[in-house]
Amino acid sequence: MVTPKQLAQTEYKYGFVTDIEEETAPRGLTEDTIRWISAKKQEPEFMLEWRLRAFRHFLTLVEKEQSPKWANVHYPPINFADGVYYAAPKKDQPASLEDVDKELLATYEKLGIPLEEQKRLAGVAVDAVFDSVSVATTFKETLSKQGIIFGSFNEAVQEHPDLVRKYLGSVVPYTDNFYAALNSAVFSDGSFCFIPKGVRCPLELSTYFRINAAEAGQFERTLIIAEEGSYVSYLEGCSAPMRDTNQLHAAVVELVAMENAEIKYSTIQNWYPGDENGVGGIYNFVTKRGKCAGDNSKISWTQVETGSAITWKYPSVLLQGDNSIGEFYSVALTRGYQQADTGTKMVHLGKNTRSKIISKGISAGHGQNTYRGLVKVMPRAADARNFTQCDSLLIGDQCGAHTTPYVEVQNSSAHLEHEAFTSRVSEEQLFYCQQRGMSSEDANSLIINGFCKEVFQQLPFEFAIEATRLLEVSLEGSVG
């Protein structure tokens, strides 16, 4: 069905570089680097201390060589001492959108995220993160009228230190894993979001992450807190220039949902995947976790992963409150030489908790796609329920699709079901579509979209269209 030539990568649309002067941290990773970053951000003392604790823990992990090795991904060892951990446009923090550098505005416009007042996407508030800093946030005032705090992490540290102090690391402690420790030490910015009690956030909140600098990694941190009875839908998008060296993106996302609150978190990940020979691309090593802290709370992750050379990511939910619900919907595409090891963890702690996992993996070219998931029912989680379905589609005979779920049950009243199926697009389906007049390329794209439908349905409308288009562009030349 596919020849190696056909697998030639379609051009990565977001691969341009913004020509802007940036300030970077001195190369290397020592306590001084941490102090330099914290000072740069004029952080309060508690932040520096927290970073330093994380850093010291990180060093013990490096010493014990405890970077994660269990994932089904392969890459040369990373020299952490040689990285650049901070890069930001040189100009001072703009006071308002009007003061934002024209080059930056043009960059985001080119990415399809206009920040200027008259061009903004209706119904979506955007926080734009460029390398290590947030450069603009739209609709801030509209949101603040309802008591919603939405903006950069740095601002939150300055303006709402108590909230940051209370929740930072409460879901993903710096001791959680190797990359969480690294992120906690060096994270530069990110988004912060707080929805007060009883408020239903009227806009989709969105962060767009852009890596621009050539050598710097991006280490952002997102923290979302939904107080009792509140609701928020949050989206993130990301892209990076085409470069022939690998860049590290190690983010941490923490979500906290209190009683009766709901957080819906959607990601369209389109980091640069590397070229057709597997050179370059982003290493996307991300820790995402939500805590259903209150009864009847709900956290739902939706991700469409089409980019990055390597993806290592398991958006998870701790189901602590009784009757709480965790969901994970994922489409992961690997083509070229991309590798993805992604999935979720659902940890059932409270009574009558529910979780649902729908994962769709598509492998083409030389792509290797692994679903890795854990469903754990703790002894006290009476009447827990889980349903998991993870399907894989193979396009071409050089790729791989792997499924490794872990199911751990310590309560007899639990009810769990896991199903997985792997195949290629069936010849019968293709023939049926062609008999109705469609070309084989259209038929493939129709069938693949159908395969992903359950996940795309979870996305807000505009993003579902974007995801469908992205998938089509990514698969161009891979099928037919």
Partner 1 sequence: MTQQAATIERRYVEAWNAAIAPSSSDVPAELHALRESAIAKFEEVGFPTARRGNEAWKYTDVAPIANAAFEDLAPAAPVRVATEALDQHIMGGSVWNRMVFVDGHWVPSLTSMPTLPPQVTVTSLAKAMALHPHLVRDLLGRYAPYDESGFTALNTAFLRDGAVLIVPHDTVVEEPIHFIYLTSSEGQSSVTQPRTLVSMGRNAKASVIESYGALTDTLSLTNAVSEYVLAEGAQLDACRLQQHSGSAYHVGSAQVRLGRDSRFTSGAFDFGGAIARHTLSVALEGEGSECTLYGLYMTNHGQHVDNQVLVDHIAPHTTSEQVYKGVLDGRSRGVFHGSITVQQAAQKTNAKQSDKNLLLSDEAEVDTKPALWIYADDVRCGHGAACGKLDDGALFYLQSRGIDEAAARRMLVHGFANEVLEHVELTPLRVHLEQLITASLRSSRRPS
Partner 2 sequence: MLEIRNLSASVGGNRVLNGINLTVEQGEVHAIMGPNGSGKSTLSYVLAGHPQYVVESGEAILDGEDLLAMPAEERARAGVFLQFQHPVEVPGVRLDQFLRAGYNAIHKSKGLEELDPLQFDRLLQQKAGIVNMEPTMLKRSVNDGFSGGEKKRNEILQMAMLEPRLSILDEPDSGLDVDSLRLVADGINQLRSPERAVILITHYQRILNLVVPDVVNVLMGGRIVRTGGVELAEEIEAEGYEGQDEVLQAQG
- In the list 123, 166, 439, 465, the residue contacting partner 2 (rule: CB under 8 A) is 439
- Decide: is 427 part of the binding site for partner 2 (CB under 8 A): yes
**Cβ closest to partner 1, residue 50 vs residue 314:** 314
Q: How far apart are the first and last CA of the chain?
A: 7
Of 86-94, 168-176, 449-457, 469-477, the segment contacting partner 2 by CB under 8 A is 449-457
- Decide: is 423 part of the binding site for partner 1 (CB under 8 A): yes
Measured from the CB of residue 371, what is the shortest distance to partner 2 in angstroms?
18
Measured from the CB of residue 402, what is the shortest distance to partner 2 in angstroms?
22
Measure the CA–CA gap between 297 and 406, rounded to whole angstroms: 24
CB atoms closer than 10 angstroms to residue 148: 22
Measured from the CB of residue 473, what is the shortest distance to partner 1 in angstroms?
22
Measure the CA–CA gap between 138 and 143, rounded to whole angstroms: 10
- Decide: is 419 part of the binding site for partner 2 (CB under 8 A): no
Measure the CA–CA gap between 182 and 204, rounded to whole angstroms: 30
φ and ψ of 333, to 5 deg:
-115, 130
φ and ψ of 389, to 5 deg:
-135, 120
Partner in contact with 424, chosen from partner 1, partner 2, none, beta carbon below 5 to 8 Å by kind? partner 1
Measure the CA–CA gap between 396 and 82, rounded to whole angstroms: 38
- In the list 261, 409, 430, 467, the residue contacting partner 1 (rule: CB under 8 A) is 409
- In the list 82, 408, 431, 469, the residue contacting partner 2 (rule: CB under 8 A) is 431
- Decide: is 431 part of the binding site for partner 1 (CB under 8 A): no
| Contact yes or no for 397/368 (Cβ under 8 A) | no
Parallel, antiparallel, or unpaired for β 339-348 and 316-319? parallel
Measured from the CB of residue 184, what is the shortest distance to partner 1 in angstroms?
22
Partner in contact with 158, chosen from partner 1, partner 2, none, beta carbon below 5 to 8 Å by kind? none
- Decide: is 429 part of the binding site for partner 2 (CB under 8 A): yes
| Contact yes or no for 109/138 (Cβ under 8 A) | no
Measured from the CB of residue 423, what is the shortest distance to partner 2 in angstroms?
12
> What HEC string does 406-457 produce?
EEEECCCCCEEEEEEEEEECCHHHHHHHHHCCCCHHHHHHHHHHHHHHHHHC
Measured from the CB of residue 412, what is the shortest distance to partner 1 in angstroms?
4
Of 7-15, 19-27, 369-377, 439-447, the segment contacting partner 2 by CB under 8 A is 439-447
Give the x/- contact pattern for partner 1 in 372-401, rule: CB under 8 A: -------x------------x-xxxxxxxx
Nearest to 466 by CA among 279, 266, 211, 215: 266
Q: Which of residues 15-54 bind partner 2 (CB under 8 A)?
A: none
Query: How many amino acids of this chain bind partner 1 (CB under 8 A)?
Result: 36
DSSP, res 263: E
Measure the CA–CA gap between 101 and 104, rounded to whole angstroms: 5
- Decide: is 451 part of the binding site for partner 2 (CB under 8 A): yes
Residue 120 class from Cβ within 10 Å (0-12 exposed, 13-18 middle, 19+ buried)? middle
Query: How many amino acids of this chain bind partner 2 (CB under 8 A)?
Result: 24
- Decide: is 350 part of the binding site for partner 1 (CB under 8 A): no
DSSP assignment of 287-314, as one string? EEEEEE-STT-EEEEEEEE---SEEEE-
Measured from the CB of residue 346, what is the shortest distance to partner 1 in angstroms?
14
Measured from the CB of residue 440, what is the shortest distance to partner 1 in angstroms?
16
Partner in contact with 404, chosen from partner 2, partner 1, none, beta carbon below 5 to 8 Å by kind? partner 1
Partner in contact with 356, chosen from partner 1, partner 2, none, beta carbon below 5 to 8 Å by kind? none
φ and ψ of 123, to 5 deg:
80, 5
Q: What sign does the dihedral 14-17-18-22 (CA atoms) show?
A: positive
Partner in contact with 436, chosen from partner 1, partner 2, none, beta carbon below 5 to 8 Å by kind? partner 2
Measured from the CB of residue 433, what is the shortest distance to partner 2 in angstroms?
7
For partner 1, the binding residues (CB under 8 A) are 1, 69-70, 379, 392, 394-424
For partner 2, the binding residues (CB under 8 A) are 426-429, 431-440, 442-443, 446-447, 449-454
